[in-house]
Amino acid sequence: MPGTFEPLPGGGASVALDDVEISIIRSLAVQLLELIGPGPAEDTPADPLAELFAEGPSEPPSDPVLKRLFPDAYRDPETPGNPQEAAEQRAHSAEFRRYTENDLRAGKRENALAVIHSLNALTPGEGGLAVLELAPAESQRWLGALNDLRLAVGSRLEITDEDDTDDFYRLPDEDPRKPMVMAYLWLGGLQETLVSTLMP
């Protein structure tokens, strides 16, 4: 069935995609790569240890999408509390971010690149559909990338809770958010069916 992941014998998953679907996923993955940015040692490729020992940022990103992709590990309490406790949480969060964000960014870059490479290797078949077949490890990369893409689109739509999506089903066609909403819902369907193929 087009647009739905199905399990492959022996593990992995497959999905039939048309040119428009391929173009949408590829475009979103490229935009995600641009947003995440290069690794910390991109300007010193001759030094293989530079990235290994590079510290990440200590402040949360200002872009709402990046904030969603790289949230604080320790969040301030939602209700006003002890200012000292809030300051300690911010300090712990900054320390955690400094030592983990580079690796998180690298993983998200690798997942997005894996999606782009696998889409670039597709050739259209019968009815203009191309069948993408993923090995188990590739399926995991796709799952990570689909999750990131959905979070990115959801952030742009200012979705903070899954209940926020109920109103989107009733958007009129002339609403400028409609294409992005359709992409968000479609990515969610892809993600859900891919998860089901990976369950034992």
pLDDT digits (tens, 9 = 90+) for 101-138: 788 889 999 999 999 999 999 987 777 789 999 999 99
Residue 151 CB partners (closer than 8 Å, separation 6+): 65, 68, 69
Instruction: For 22-140, list the strands marked E by DSSP.
Output: 130-134
79-96 mean pLDDT: 68
CB atoms within 10 A of CB 136: 13
pLDDT of residue 46: 58
Residue 79 has pLDDT above 70, yes or no: no
What pairs with residue 17 in β-bridges?
Answer: 130
DSSP state of 167: G
Q: Which tokens belong to 62?
A: 């200002």
pLDDT greater at residue 161 or residue 183: 183
pLDDT at 33: 94
pLDDT band at 41 (very low <50, low <70, confident <90, very high): low
70 pLDDT exceeds 70?
A: yes
Give the pLDDT of residue 199: 84
Among residues 89, 59, 84, the alpha carbon closest in space to that of 74 is found at 89
Mean pLDDT rounded to a whole number for the chain: 82
Report which of 180, 104, 182 is spatially closest to residue 148, judged by C-alpha positions: 104
